[in-house]
Every structure is written in structure tokens, then in C-alpha cells.
């Protein structure tokens, strides 16, 4: 498929009540493994990609290296690839959009784009984030790529007390509508795990809603019934793999020197 065809196919996999499942990857090897397991599309997780290459999360992995990782993944499989691009490596709308071009040039057809101020404690004002999304959409149109912009809100991740997530729902819905108007393709609400709140968000959002699986999150059947259009796994596949690897290594080295 051409890049445009991959982008359109990827968008078509986002169906309310029949979500696309993205078991997040971090390099060419994990991409091929997940593809061979039956995935219909691939998506990186920023935490996982950074850790796998020796960096911490938060745009610490150099942008050129991230682009090379995307190229290597696409050389290993012909599935559509969405890249977790955090805050596009710039708070400036024009520069962020220019940075996204590097991923498009690598062959990616989608990005996650978050509204937290990367490296700081706050969240961008809605109007500011709208300007950033709009700049990316206009750039993608100039590139003739129907880029899937998965607009992420960090409202729920920033609030560690899940009993207060209901208080944030109206703002999340308002952001989903504003982001849709700016050209976003999906709305990502990591950290939200209450099935009722997820259902209310899905009912009100004009965009397909992405929920991240985490310990204690509803199962896929419950999320589908709530109207979710995309389920992703974030850093958890990488963390599970590393925990297994560490355990196996400790079996080998644990008795050394005794």
C-alpha cells in the first residue's frame, strides 16, 4: 500500500464499539513480533521507545533517532505505523508541525500528540493546543498525507485520585470537541478507567476514543460495550518484557561468585 492508503486503512480501523487493538511496540524486532501475532496496525509508545534506546521519557530520545526507529519498523513490516510523538518536540505550533514532517518522511501515518507541557507540570490551554493541532493538520494536508492525529489529553493522568476523574469529564469532552474542530482524528484519554465515565466520554466525543489498558482497567469487551474506538497498551508490554528478561538474567547471574 502507499502511505496514503495505509493512513486511510488505519483510520478505518477506528470503529466505535469495535476498537482497534494496539499492543504498543518499541523497535523493529517488537514490531515484527506483534505483526506476526496478528496485529492490523502498529503503534509505538514513547516511554518504551525511549527506554529501549537508553533514554528516559519526555522527549529525551533525539528526534533524528526517533525518525530512524520509525524507518526501521517500517522496513520490518508493511503495517500502518502510528508514532507516539509526545509534544512534537516544540511548544511552538509551526515548529511542532515541521517536526512531524520528519515522521511523515519516515513513512508514519499517525501520531499521538499530547496536551501536557512536556517537561513541566501543566497542561496547555485549550486554545493553545487547538493552534498546535491545526498547524499539524495543515502541514499534513500540504504533504498530501491524511495523518491520523490522536489528540491526547493528560487531564486524567495528571490527577492521581481516580475518584476525582468525574470532575474532569466536562473539560475532557470540551477538549475533544475543540480538538476535533482543529483537525484531530481521535481523542486519547490515558488514565481514565471508570467504565461509566468512559461510556459518557465516548457518547459525547465527536472523535473515536482511545483508552489505555493498565492494571485495573476494564477488559476489552467492556471497553467495546462502552463505545471505545481504540485500545492501546502504552508502556506495559515493554515493562513486562523487561521484567521477564531481568528475571531470566538473575537466574543466570544470581549465583555468580558464590
Domain CATH for 176: 3.20.20.60
Does some domain include residue 84? yes
Q: Specify the 3-state DSSP secondary structure of 135.
A: helix
Q: How far apart are CA 99 and CA 142, in angstroms?
A: 14
Does some domain include residue 258? no
At 46 the pLDDT is 98
DSSP string, 38-50: T-SSEEB-HHHHH
How many structural domains are present in the chain?
1
Query: Across the beta sheet with 110-114, what order do the strands follow?
Result: 20-22, 230-232, 209-212, 186-188, 148-152, 110-114, 81-84, 42-43
At 92 the pLDDT is 98
Expressed as residue numbers, the domain containing 101 is 3-253
At 158 the pLDDT is 95
Does some domain include residue 241? yes
Under DSSP, the state recorded for 52 is H
At 255 the pLDDT is 57
Sites in the chain below the pLDDT cut of 70: 255-258
Pairing mode of beta strands 81-84, 148-152: unpaired
Does some domain include residue 215? yes
Which pTM value belongs to this model? 0.96
At 258 the pLDDT is 45
DSSP string, 9-32: HHHHT-BTTB-EEE--B-SHHHHH
Query: pLDDT tens for residues 89-145?
Result: 999 999 999 999 999 999 999 999 999 999 988 999 999 999 999 999 999 999 999
Does some domain include residue 103? yes
Q: Is 230 left (phi over 0), alpha (psi -120 to 50) or beta?
A: beta
The chain-wide mean pLDDT, for the chain, equals 96
At 84 the pLDDT is 98
Q: Is-contact 24 188, C-beta < 8 A? A: no
- The grid coordinates listed for 140 are 499534513
Amino acid at each position: 500500500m502507499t502511505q496514503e492508503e495505509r493512513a486511510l486503512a488505519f483510520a478505518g480501523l477506528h470503529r466505535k464499539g469495535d476498537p482497534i487493538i494496539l499492543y504498543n511496540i518499541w523497535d523493529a524486532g517488537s514490531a515484527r513480533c506483534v505483526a506476526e501475532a496478528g496485529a492490523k496496525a502498529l503503534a509505538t509508545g514513547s516511554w518504551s521507545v525511549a527506554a529501549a534506546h537508553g533514554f528516559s521519557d519526555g522527549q529525551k530520545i533525539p528526534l533524528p533517532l526517533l525518525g530512524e526507529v520509525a524507518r526501521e519498523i517500517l522496513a520490518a513490516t508493511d503495517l500502518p505505523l502510528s508514532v507516539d510523538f509526545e509534544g512534537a518536540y516544540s511548544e511552538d505550533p509551526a515548529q511542532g508541525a515541521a517536526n512531524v514532517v520528519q515522521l511523515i518522511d519516515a513513512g508514519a501515518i499517525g501520531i499521538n500528540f499530547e496536551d501536557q507541557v512536556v517537561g513541566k507540570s501543566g497542561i496547555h490551554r485549550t486554545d493553545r493546543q487547538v493552534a498546535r493541532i491545526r498547524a499539524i493538520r495543515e502541514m499534513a494536508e500540504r504533504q498530501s498525507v491524511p495523518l491520523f492525529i490522536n489528540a491526547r489529553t493528560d487531564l486524567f493522568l495528571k490527577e492521581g485520585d481516580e475518584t476525582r476523574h468525574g470532575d474532569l469529564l466536562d473539560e475532557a469532552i470540551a477538549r475533544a470537541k475543540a480538538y476535533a474542530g482543529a483537525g484531530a482524528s481521535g481523542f486519547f484519554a490515558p488514565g481514565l478507567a471508570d467504565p461509566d465515565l468512559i461510556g459518557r466520554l465516548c457518547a459525547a466525543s465527536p472523535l473515536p476514543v482511545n483508552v489505555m489498558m493498565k492494571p485495573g482497567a476494564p477488559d476489552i469487551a467492556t471497553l467495546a460495550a462502552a463505545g471505545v474506538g481504540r485500545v492501546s497498551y502504552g508502556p506495559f508490554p515493554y515493562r513486562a518484557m523487561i521484567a521477564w528478561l531481568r528475571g531470566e538474567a538473575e537466574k543466570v547471574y544470581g549465583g555468580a561468585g558464590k
